[in-house]
Structure 1
Amino acid sequence: MTTEVDLGVPLRIADLRAARDPIKVVVGPQVRDRVTAARTFLATVLGDDRAVYGATTGFGALVGYAGRADLRDQADNTLAHLGAGQGPDLDPEVVRATLLLRTASLARGASGVSPHVIDALAAMLATTFVPAMPRLGSVGASG
């Protein structure tokens, strides 16, 4: 039996434990609405030509520097920033629980991600896939 986790309610410790195996992540209409609203807000703010952390600026200590002008290049910059890690990989159970936490965090609608990001993470959690995640480095702190 596959565990079902609804992103419309707070996660429980049991959800994080269940994530070690494939789980069904439910992305209900209220989640989709708030994620879409945040994405729309981000698009509006980006049109105002002002600094937006990580979207038009650098990350962390580089926040005072301009990001890349092309949003696709900035997205690549984000992946490079988040991919900087070292040390032994975390245990698969920890990685999958972390990904569920990240999915739930993004589903709160405060990050400006597109709904398809939530859908892609939910689809991944329905499989046995476990990405390599080094013990030291950035998994991303915003969201």
Structure 2
Amino acid sequence: MRKVDLAAPLLPADLLAARDPITVVVDDRTRATMEVARRYFDKVKGEDRAVYGATTGFGALVNYAGRPDARDQADNTLAHLGAGQGPDLDPAVVRATLLVRAWSLAQGASGASPHVVDALAAMLATTFTPAVPRFGSVGASGDLIPLGAAAQA
């Protein structure tokens, strides 16, 4: 099984290998970087400031307050993003995308908890692939609905 170290740049061969089970390595330095960013996120969120997507809605709903409970906010966000439709994307594309997402989150700039990357790594070590609909993306990056479908899985 191919090993992919999230502290190193992703290679095209890593993305191709993700169609099958792979071992995703998250070293201590990467984990520490993510922890620092997460603590900063928690600090900012605790300052009673608007934090896009965490205390507000997404996209056009940014001017609306989010839910006070973080889990309820996450559940509400996933329900809001459940508007995808059409045939599912190819499983190899979904798995490569989730490897890129794990790598991106591991850079420590998003404030995501290391357990999110751990969950993606655990999924990538199996043959499981979330069903991700082809149509329905929103936002400038176009990844919210597909990633919402993956997160629900």
TM-score of the two chains, using structure 2 as the length reference: 0.87
Closer, same or farther: CA 4–82 of 1 in aligned 2, 3 Å: farther
Count of residue correspondences? 141
Query: Residue 7 of structure 1 aligns with which residue?
Result: 6
Q: CA deviation at 1:17?
A: 0.3
Q: What is the match of residue 136 of structure 1?
A: 135
List gaps (5 residues or longer) in structure 1.
none
SS at match of 2:87: strand
TM-score, normalised relative to structure 1: 0.93
SS in 1 for 2:144: coil
Give the equivalent residue in structure 1 for 2:140.
none
- RMSD between aligned alpha carbons? 1.6
Residue number in structure 2 paired with 1:117: 116
CA distance in 2, matches of 1:63, 1:34: 28
Structure 1 residue 25 displacement after superposition: 0.2
Structure 2 unmatched ranges of 5 or more: 138-142, 148-153
* 2:97 is the alignment partner of 1:93: no
Whole-Å Cα distance in 2 between the matches of residues 48 and 102 of structure 1? Answer: 28
CA distance in 1, matches of 2:77, 2:45: 16
1:77 alignment partner in structure 2 = 76
AA in 1 matched with 2:6: L
What fraction of aligned residue pairs are identical, expressed as a percent?
70
**Distance in 2 separating the partners of 1:21 and 1:84:** 28
Q: How far is the alpha carbon of 1:111 from its aligned partner?
A: 1.6
